[in-house]
């Protein structure tokens, strides 16, 4: 099973199977820090809820579908990093 990225924005990616997944900013540990030690905002709590829901959905998928989703999400993360750094793929 191979999934394609249908739509990609900075906060989410929609895949060809119709599912939408939150994107992760691996360089930003401030959300984790705020949730553990700080005073999280409502926005922080909603972002955390999205990650928890995505994790729960992902672990209950069959292995082949889970691997396809993870591969597509990694591709989306790579595209986002390139876009943030200003690198244009030819």
Residue 14: which domain range?
5-85
* Tokens representing residue 28 in the block: 């930003």
Looking at the domain assignment, is residue 70 inside a domain? yes
Looking at the domain assignment, is residue 25 inside a domain? yes
How many structural domains are present in the chain? Answer: 1
| pLDDT at residue 28, rounded to an integer | 62
Residue with tokens 């994790």: 55
Nearest Cα to Cα of residue 54 among 81, 19, 29: 19
| pLDDT at residue 89, rounded to an integer | 60
Nearest Cα to Cα of residue 74 among 7, 1, 6, 13: 13
Q: Which residues of the chain have pLDDT under 70?
A: 25-29, 87-90
Looking at the domain assignment, is residue 22 inside a domain? yes
Q: What is the pTM of this model?
A: 0.76
Looking at the domain assignment, is residue 90 inside a domain? no
Looking at the domain assignment, is residue 49 inside a domain? yes
Show Cβ contacts of residue 68 under 8 Å, excluding neighbours closer than 6 positions: 1, 2, 3
| pLDDT at residue 6, rounded to an integer | 92
Please check whether residue 80 is in contact with residue 10, taking contact to mean a CB–CB distance below 8 angstroms.
Answer: yes
């Amino acid at each position: 099973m191979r999934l394609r990225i249908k739509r990609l924005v900075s906060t989410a990616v929609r895949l060809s199977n119709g599912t939408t997944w939150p994107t992760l900013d691996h360089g930003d540990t401030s959300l984790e820090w705020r949730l553990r030690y700080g005073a999280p905002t409502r926005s922080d709590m909603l972002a955390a809820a999205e990650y928890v829901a995505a994790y729960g959905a992902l672990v209950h998928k069959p292995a082949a579908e889970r691997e396809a989703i993870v591969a597509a999400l990694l591709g989306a993360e790579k595209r986002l990093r390139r876009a943030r750094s200003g690198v244009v793929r030819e």
